[in-house]
Amino acid sequence: MTIDKDKMLEYCNEFSKNTLMETLKIEFIDAGEGFLVAKMPVNSLVHQPMGLLHGGASVALAESVGSAASHFFINDKNQEVRGIEISANHLRSIREGVVFGTARIIHKGRSLHLWEIKITDEEGNLISLCKLTNMVLTRP
């Protein structure tokens, strides 16, 4: 499979407008064979009450990048993607800066995609490790 990195990033960032991804300032920044990377700023808008990155914001980043990555493998004209299960292990906290979500394909079937998403900080420290299952549906 060969992808046009610039076209894929433009597509992902365009469909994020007026969505939760825009609200959280998630930006898709890199793509390649079987992976997609997005970044999200860590500030008070994504904090939990103790001033740390909220686990739900981490999961939103993970599901956003993993679901977008499934578009590598579908025909957008007659298929669409739905996240059906996500799990997350939050391993380290962060108060400010930027986190990066990198989705890598584990299993690519006709109707199910399984992704591993690693959320890291600017130094490459693992913040959360997530697993996402997407279902591929035929558009009506």
What is the per-residue pLDDT across 47-99, written as a single tens digit (0 to 9) for each? 999 999 999 999 999 999 999 999 989 998 999 999 999 999 999 999 999 99
CA atoms within 13 A on the CB side of 105: 17
Q: Over the stretch 21-46, which tens digit does the pLDDT of each residue have?
A: 999 999 999 999 889 999 999 999 99
DSSP of 10-23 = HHHHHHTTTSHHHH
Measured CA to CA, the distance from residue 140 to residue 99 in angstroms comes to: 37
Question: Do strands 97-108 and 126-138 pair parallel, antiparallel, or not at all (unpaired)?
Answer: unpaired
* pTM (two decimals): 0.94
Residue 44 sits in which domain range?
Answer: 5-138
CATH number of the domain encompassing residue 115: 3.10.129.10
Which residues are catalytically annotated? 63
Would you call 73 helix, strand, or coil by DSSP?
Answer: helix
Total domains in the chain come to: 1
Q: What is the pLDDT of residue 2?
A: 65
What pLDDT score was predicted for residue 34?
86
